[in-house]
Amino acid sequence: MRVLVCVKRVPAPGAKINITDDGQSVDATNLGHTMSPHEECGLELAVQLVEAHGGESHVLTLGVTEADEQCRWAASIGINKATLIDVGTQGWDPQRTASAMTDAIRAIEEVDGGFDVLIFGNESADTGGFQVGIRVARALGRPMVNAIKGVNISAGIDGENTVLEAQRETDSGMEVYKLPMPCAIGVKEGITWPRYPTMRGRLASKKLAVDVAASDAAPGGQTMVRLNRPEEQVSETIILGEGAAAAPAVIELLKELGLWSEGTSKQEVGA
Amino acid sequence: MSVLVVVEHDRGTLADASLEAFAFARSIAGQLGEQVEALLIGADAAGLADVCAAHGAGAVHHASIAGDSVGDYGPEAYGMVVASLAALLLPSGIVASGTDRGNEVLAQAAAELDLPFVANCVSVKTADEWELTRVQWGGSLNEDALLRSRLPIVSVAHHSVEPQEVSIGATAAITEHIVELPEWVSRSVIQDRVVLSEGLTLATAPVVIGGGRGVGSAEGFNVLEALAARLGGVVGCSRAVTNNGWRPHSDQVGQTGTRIAPQLYIACGISGAIQHWVGAKAAKKILAINIDPAANMVVKADYAVIGDLFEVLPAIEQG
């Protein structure tokens, strides 16, 4: 089985996200970089699929030269190959990004063979455009479902792995999709538990040859003007008290909000 | 001309977030001097016409998919229906809710039409190029953006606008459409469902009691469960908790978990990292219980109790 995972390098902010003076990006001074938790789980899923079914996993990213770091992280947990589309910025719009990634996937598939599964994060941690994976899948003519939290590969009548059962979490349970492969999924955190790199993995990641590609994709119709910090509704926190002695004040608040019913005893609730 | 709202529903049950899409669409239609119209997809959605009218739809389009290969939902099928109706109705803009489904359907439609799609907007100023404000970082930052498109397609960030019934008791004329779709769209439709919970969920509970690293262990959540049972609420948690394996990921409140909007969120032993805050901030009121008066959650909350959650929660529960 051949599996591709797409990831995006993003700053790892602390308790507050600062913006550069020109409003064009997050001020990443003194910040490390990472990827969305959705994508970390996607990498783990790719490694697990190849462990279970054999084959090869490949990570693809688009951004700055330093996104090499995310490719090597992927290799350190077991991803086999990496391609970085170096466009010198993290700021390409969704249509342009999707177009460049579609071209890159076609180029990889021409050399190495088609992918059975394309894995994307449900949305990127920073810009959150909710569309790049869907656009890529459509351009490649493959089915795609987003918000997936469980997968199961099953054999078709010819004994080959041909159907990817994808479970999508809803408010009350799961929707189940059965996608004919090759297919694409957008995954959410929780689909896997990402492993930590082993010493052997770290060594392998240093030796990884990251394939660097370029792109001449044309800009799409959405242009960022600047980033702003939303106005925070600054409300003075009302301290209701300290320790157990604050309970009556909390119950008063619950009554005010209509969330406290005197008549309900613990026994009735448990019955 | 009109602003078309793609109404989200599950087998005929309206998704409340769709009402936010109507509110957002009204603000756009008002600027353009046009009316809001609704698009209901699927045979089981016909009964939603009146609620669309009450929320400002001057006309309702009901699209049924020809044949029965699609079932009740498929992202590619719904995207193709939106694209097909867009070509027929020529709206000035298309709006849906910024939910998993809403964003997915609009992204599919935009890909089919080869047009831009801007997800999770909070405001729009219409002009030749629409001037939009949308959320980034799960709502921690806003982005001002320009949208250049012959047909702007946008979703509205969940919980960013208040739904409002503007025409109580109104009815709208329903136009029926039968849409022929290519056979291949049936490859990505719902084949089955697994029901995991019948009762309250994080997204619907009036009160959510969240636990963070300060709860200390899986067993530590027993005091939160007890209070949740007393109040008729549900238990949630921070990412630190799921990372420690104390609770399943489905309980996680945050940017990569569930976005909640209860009447009251009681955050216990939660520091208030950005990842968690953006999933909790739509709560009407927040009560933080924490031993650290300087914790981000305490500073941002409406109310706080400074103390050990293992003393405070049982005292509340026992009334």
Q: What is the pLDDT of residues B53-96, one digit of tens each?
A: 999 999 999 999 998 778 889 999 999 999 999 999 999 999 99
Contact call for residues B192 and B72 (beta carbons, < 8 A): no
Are the Cβ atoms of B148 and A223 closer than 8 angstroms?
Answer: yes
Chain A contacts of B123, Cβ < 8 Å? none
Beta bridge mates, B289: B268, B305
pTM of the predicted structure, to 2 decimals: 0.93
What value does the mean pLDDT take over residues A68-88? 98
Q: Which of A176, A178, A247 sits opposite B193 (nearest CB)?
A: A176
pLDDT of A171 higher than 90: no
A5-17 per-position pLDDT tens digit: 999 999 998 778 9
pLDDT of B119 higher than 80: yes
A180-227 per-position pLDDT tens digit: 999 999 999 999 999 999 999 999 999 999 999 999 999 999 999 999
Q: Which of B264, B293, B314 sits opposite A259 (nearest CB)?
A: B264
Interface-testing mutation among B8, B128, B194, with chain A (most A C-beta atoms within 10 A): B194
B238-268 per-position pLDDT tens digit: 999 999 999 999 999 999 999 999 999 999 9
pLDDT of A119 higher than 60: yes
Chain B contacts of A142, Cβ < 8 Å? none
What value does the mean pLDDT take over residues B271-293? 95
Q: Which of A129, A168, A229 sits opposite B119 (nearest CB)?
A: A129
Chain A contacts of B141, Cβ < 8 Å? 17, 19, 26, 227-230
What value does the mean pLDDT take over residues A168-176? 89
**What mean pLDDT, rounded, does chain B reach?**
95
Are the Cβ atoms of B100 and A253 closer than 8 angstroms?
Answer: no
Chain A contacts of B187, Cβ < 8 Å? 143, 179-180, 183
B210-225 per-position pLDDT tens digit: 999 999 999 999 999 9
Q: Which of B107, B139, B316 sits opposite A247 (nearest CB)?
A: B316
> What percentage of chain B exceeds 90 in pLDDT?
92
Chain B contacts of A98, Cβ < 8 Å? 111
A58-72 per-position pLDDT tens digit: 999 999 999 999 999
Beta bridge mates, B94: B4, B153
Cα angle: B46, vertex B52, B55; to 5 degrees: 170
**What mean pLDDT, rounded, does chain A reach?**
93
CA-closest candidate to residue A10, choices A67, A77, A60: A67
Minimal Cα distance from A163: which residue of B? Answer: B187
Minimal Cα distance from A193: which residue of B? Answer: B243
Pairing of strands B118-125, B130-136: antiparallel
What value does the mean pLDDT take over residues A35-48? 97
The DSSP secondary-structure symbol of B258 reads: B
Chain B contacts of A127, Cβ < 8 Å? 136, 143
Are the Cβ atoms of B137 and A126 closer than 8 angstroms?
Answer: yes
ipTM of the predicted structure? 0.93
pLDDT of A270 higher than 50: no
pLDDT higher at B275 or B288: B288
pLDDT of residue A157: 58
pLDDT of residue A16: 82
> To the nearest whole angstrom, how far is the Cα of A262 from the nearest Cα of chain B?
9
Are the Cβ atoms of A269 and B229 closer than 8 angstroms?
Answer: yes
pLDDT of A268 higher than 50: no
A–B: how many Cβ contacts below 8 A?
259
Chain B contacts of A37, Cβ < 8 Å? 239, 256
Are the Cβ atoms of B76 and A175 closer than 8 angstroms?
Answer: no
Minimal Cα distance from B232: which residue of A? Answer: A259
Chain B contacts of A135, Cβ < 8 Å? 107, 110-111
pLDDT of residue A230: 87
Interface-testing mutation among B13, B104, B204, B230, with chain A (most A C-beta atoms within 10 A): B104
Which tokens sit at A77? Answer: 């947990």
Chain B contacts of A229, Cβ < 8 Å? 141-142
What value does the mean pLDDT take over residues B124-143? 95
pLDDT of residue A159: 65
**Where residue A158 falls among pLDDT bands split at 50, 70, 90?**
low
